[in-house]
Amino acid sequence: MGRKVEKEEDNWYGVIDPKRRKQIQDRLAQRARQTNAPRKRLQYQKYHVE
């Protein structure tokens, strides 16, 4: 049970080099932020009307 990995190159499981593993994790985190940003912006606007 784990998250589905889009591409095999995005799978950091088993990567021994800490620098490479961090690069992969950062790329996945950035993609998640970009995906969730519009939804979070709408939630904020919904509850914080100016």
Backbone angles phi, psi at 15, to 5 degrees: -75, 120
In a domain, 32, yes or no: yes
Separation between Cα atoms, residue 18 and residue 31, nearest integer Å: 20
Residue 1's pLDDT is what?
A: 41
Structure confidence at residue 41 (pLDDT): 66
Domain count, the chain: 1
Which structural domain, as residue segments, surrounds residue 32? 16-47
Task: Supply the pTM of this predicted model.
Answer: 0.54
Q: How far apart are CA 27 and CA 36, in angstroms?
A: 14
The answer to whether residue 5 is domain-embedded is no
Q: How far apart are CA 8 and CA 46, in angstroms?
A: 38
The pLDDT tens digits of the residues spanning 1-50 come to 455 556 667 777 888 999 999 998 899 899 888 887 777 666 666 676 66
Dihedral sign for Cα atoms in the order 15, 20, 22, 25: negative
Q: Which two tokens stand for residue 19?
A: 């620098």
Residue 5: its pLDDT value, please? Answer: 52
Asked whether the beta carbons of 24 and 12 are under 8 A apart, the reply is: yes
